[in-house]
Structure 1
Amino acid sequence: MTDRQNIASGAPWEPIVGYSRAVRVGNHIWVAGTTATAADGTIVGKGDPRAQTVRVLENIGAALAKAGAAFRHVVRSRIFVTDIAHWEVIGRAHGEVFSAIRPACTLVQVTRLVDPDMLVEIEVDAYVND
């Protein structure tokens, strides 16, 4: 594929696991599961699902920008939470970004994420048509 663009976040585990933060092929962009990780690898908003969701979305926005896209291009989001009781606060933070865009969205509870301090992980798919 000559038009494939792999976008890295600089996380040390990307080459170890063998993945990219995002991949763009043509007009399609897939952003990998993204957590509330700061540039130094620490978890932002420990114990605070809203703060973590806001950071996750900031990280996703940065990946989309590197791929030549923006939130308006997102057509699908998947939200993974470690405690379904947090669905509303996480959903509201998601809605602050996506209320006018309204991508298809799934929210599910998982047993845990890679780091026990991680409360939410989100992945998105985007399509650039402008």
Structure 2
Amino acid sequence: MTSGAVRRVRGDNPWEESFGSARAVAAGDRVLVAGTTAFEGDVLHGEGDPYEQARAAFGSALEALAEFGLGVDSVIRTRVYLAHVRDIDAAGRAHKELFEAVRPVTTLLVVEGFTDSRVLVAVEVEAFDAGGPARRP
């Protein structure tokens, strides 16, 4: 990472307060978005549907990137966490629809579970800010 200001953005996730973390952080020419699920407030989008949860989670992560003036074209890495190996194809289809044109490096992990058993998918996103470092205030 290049040197420059570090900027943190908070979200509305209650874990941020209890863990002392940020929704997203810009440091130099990189923006990192924390683990994101399909929750919006108390509503879980796509309950029981890994494709819809992946779409919603990535949509939320991209909204966090937008706080820094960045979009899907700046994404260089994604991580997809799944509760079940059976959901690989559904999550992969959602990922491809969003990122096929930019083709970020991607890591896919099957985990033991999430803090809410209804969550099937969580994602992380890392972006490169070509106009950086941390060009926004």
Shorter chain as denominator, the TM-score bin is over 0.9
TM-score norm. by structure 1 comes to 0.93
Pick from 11, 18, 22 the counterpart of residue 20 of structure 1: 22
The residue aligned with 1:129 is: 130
Paired residue type of 2:5? D
Structure 2 residues without counterparts, runs of 5 or longer: 132-137
The whole-number CA distance in structure 2 between the counterparts of 1:12 and 1:79 is 21
**1:6 equivalent in structure 2:** 8
Deviation at 1:18, TM superposition (A): 1.0
Listed as ranges, the matches of 1:81-92 within 5 Å are 81-92=82-93
What's the C-alpha RMSD, in Å, of the aligned pairs? 1.4
Three-state SS of the structure 1 residue aligned to 2:79 is strand
Q: Secondary structure at the match of 1:31?
A: strand
Once the two structures are superposed, residues 92-118 of structure 1 have per-residue CA deviations (whole angstroms, 9 ceiling, x without a partner) of 101101001000001110010111000
Q: Say yes or no: does 1:77 pair with 2:78.
A: yes
What are structure 1's unaligned runs of at least 5 residues? none
Cα distance in 2 between the residues matched to 1:87 and 1:2: 38
Secondary structure, aligned partner of 1:122:
strand
Q: After the TM superposition, which segments of 4 or more aligned residues of structure 1 sit over 4 Å from their partners?
A: none
The count of residues paired between Structure 1 and Structure 2 equals 129
Given that residues 47 and 117 in structure 1 are in contact (C-alpha distance below 8 angstroms), is that contact kept between their aligned partners in structure 2?
yes
Whether the aligned pair in 1 keeps the contact of 2:50 and 2:90 (CA below 8 Å) is yes
Instruction: Tell me which amino acid in the other structure corresponds to 2:39.
Output: T
Percentage of matched positions with identical amino acids: 34
SS of corresponding position for 1:68: coil
Work out the CA distance in 2 between the residues paired with 1:2 and 1:102. 27
Residue in 2 that maps onto 1:59: 60
Within-5 A mapping of 1:106-125: 106-125=107-126
Q: CA deviation at 1:41?
A: 2.5
Query: 1:29-86 deviations in whole A, cap 9, x for unaligned?
Result: 0011100011x22211111101101110110111000022111111111100001111
**Aligned with 1:9: secondary structure?**
coil
